[in-house]
Amino acid sequence: MRSLVLCLLFAASSAVAGEFAVLASGARMYVDRHEADAAKVRLYNSGGVVEMDASKIKGFEADDAVPAPVAPKPAVPDTPAMAAATPAPAPALTPRQLADAAADKYGLPRELVRSVMAAESGFLAEAVSPKGAIGLMQLMPETAHELGVDPNDPAQNVDGGARYLRDLLLKYEGGLRHALAAYNAGPAAVDRYNGIPPYPETINYVGRIERKLKQAAR
């Protein structure tokens, strides 16, 4: 499961190409750049910095795919006929479509983000937990503030939740069980117990999502 997540875990490249870190497990992870010394390697990307033992990385491969610049279209003044033909706004995306879009944006498996959303809110945008977690991905207000998103806006809520999940996967070096437990109980609890904390809610939460991912992989 860890190799699957790491293979799919990459950030969208900008106009300046980054590179792929090739891990000892054979997985490849997109990064903007890296720094290395004798024992440690630091991987930099839009989510921050992850430090790994040098023994966990086999090498690096250049990402040569640099998107060509798009020439701006010349402005055309509106006419009454054009204004009348302006299309109506696109309909709002469904929760599952929001999950898939955020998964693609942050290089996560679609089924993973959908499974977390199902476990968190049952795909209900108006869900609020007794502890105050909000929306489809059940962001706590302080977490939403740190991510710079409005938790009451479904699109921002899902984007922030997927980004937070991606950051947790990076923090735990692709350890899915650790990342899921941290999403549910907080990174401090996972770090305190050096793994899934002995909370029935968290144990059930991680197991439920793992079962859905295994079913989807069949």
Q: Which runs of E-coded beta strand occur in 1-156?
A: 19-23, 28-31, 33-36, 40-45, 48-53, 57-62
Integer distance in angstroms from the first to the last C-alpha of the chain?
13
- Measured CA distances, 10 to 18, 139, 166, 197 (Å): 11, 23, 9, 28
Which residue among the candidates 19, 35, 120, 201 is catalytic per the annotation?
120
Catalytic, 146? Answer: no
Which residues, including other chains, have CB under 8 Å from residue 62's CB and lie 6 or more apart? Answer: 17, 19, 20
Rounded Cα distance between 113 and 166, Å, is: 10
- Residue 128, beta-bridge partner list: 134
Which residues are identified as catalytic? 120
